[in-house]
Structure 1
């Protein structure tokens, strides 16, 4: 079992496409369309690869939760990646800033960015295949 997709409602779809294709250059728009959501027009698309994707649509209003606050809502989501350094380099060279560095850990390295819609995204590279080491709290 694995997580297939996350559905994000945003105000700027092109900015989201740029961020995620910068992180994952192999991602493409798998499908897209226009329809209504509770009487409001929306454009939606699925951005990803053959196994996972983000469902992104533009019918949102307002701002995301304050990531420094205590509001109920999504705190962050994470991608396990093979080469964290290359993702960080691509994002930084395209003007995205690290939101916070990950914790020091001998079995993984990670970093957090905030995407254009205000969602915090963690990228983590595991340096071991042993589950007890990958999931430790060092």
Structure 2
């Protein structure tokens, strides 16, 4: 079993694509269209590869939750990479800055970015195959 997709409602799909194309240059638009969600028109698309994708729908209302607050909602989601330096470089070259660095840990490198819709996205490179080391709290 694995997570296939995350469905995000955003205000601007094109801004989201700019960010995620930089993070995942091997991904592509799998499908797209227009629809109606409870009386409101929406453009939607699926951006990913053969196994996983982001489902993005536009025309969202209101800002994302305050990431420093305590509201119920998504805190962040994470992607594992084998080359975190390359991900950071691609995102910075596309105009995005690191929101916060990850903890200093001998078994992983991680970093957080904020995407255009205000979602916090973690990228992590594991330096160990041993689960208790990968998931420690050093």
TM-score bracket, shorter-length normalisation: over 0.9
- Measured on the aligned residues, the alpha-carbon RMSD in Å equals 0.6
- Equivalent residue for 1:8? 8
- Please identify runs of 4+ aligned residues in structure 1 that moved more than 6 A: none
- Equivalent residue for 1:112? 112
- Equivalent residue for 2:20? 20
- Equivalent residue for 1:49? 49
Structure 2: which 5+ runs fail to align? Answer: none
- Partners of 2:130 and 2:68 lie apart in 1 by 33
What TM-score does the superposition give when structure 1 sets the normalisation length? 0.98
Structure 1: which 5+ runs fail to align? Answer: none
Deviations for 1:9-47, whole angstroms, at most 9, x for unmatched residues? 001100100100101101100001111000111010000
Number of equivalenced pairs: 138
Q: How does 1:28-107 map to 2 (within 5 A)?
A: 28-107=28-107
- Partners of 2:52 and 2:113 lie apart in 1 by 20
